[in-house]
A and B are shown apart, each in its own frame.
Chain A
Amino acid sequence: MSVFSLKNKTILITGASSGIGKAMAIACAQAGATLIISGRNKERLEHTFTMLEGSNHLAFATDLSTTQGVKLLVDFVPKIDGFVSNAGIVEPLLLQFIETSDIEKTLHINAISVIELTRLLLQEKKIKKGASLVFTSSINGNKCAYIGSSLYAASKAMLTGFMKAIALELAPKGIRANTIEPGMIETELLKNSDISLEDLENDKQNYPLKRYGKPEEVAYAAIFLLSDASSWTTGTNMLLDGGYTLH
Chain B
Amino acid sequence: MEMNEFIKNFANQFDDTDANEFIPETLFRELEEWSSLNALAVMNMIAKKYATKLTPEEMKTAQTIQELFDLVASKK
Residues of A near any B CB (own CB < 8 A): 92-94, 96-97, 99, 147-148, 194-197, 199
Contacts and interface: CB of A to CB of B under 8 A. Distances in A.
Contacts of A196: 55-57, 60
Contact of B37 (A147, A194, A197): A147
B40 A147 contact: yes
B44 interface: yes
Interface of B is mostly: helix
A73 B46 CA distance: 38
Question: Could you say which interface size class chain B belongs to?
Answer: 10 to 19
Given A97-B48, A147-B37, A194 B60 contact: no
Contacts of B45: 97
A237 B8 CA distance: 46
Interface string B15-39: 0000000000000000000001100
Nearest to A197: B57
B7 interface: no
B19 to A, nearest CB: 18
Contacts of B55: 194, 196
B43 A194 contact: yes
Nearest to B53: A194
A126 B40 CA distance: 44
28 contacts: A92-B40, A92-B44, A93-B44, A94-B37, A94-B40, A94-B41, A96-B41, A97-B41, A97-B44, A97-B45, A97-B47, A97-B48, A99-B48, A147-B36, A147-B37, A147-B40, A148-B44, A194-B40, A194-B43, A194-B53, A194-B55, A194-B56, A195-B56, A196-B55, A196-B57, A196-B60, A197-B57, A199-B56
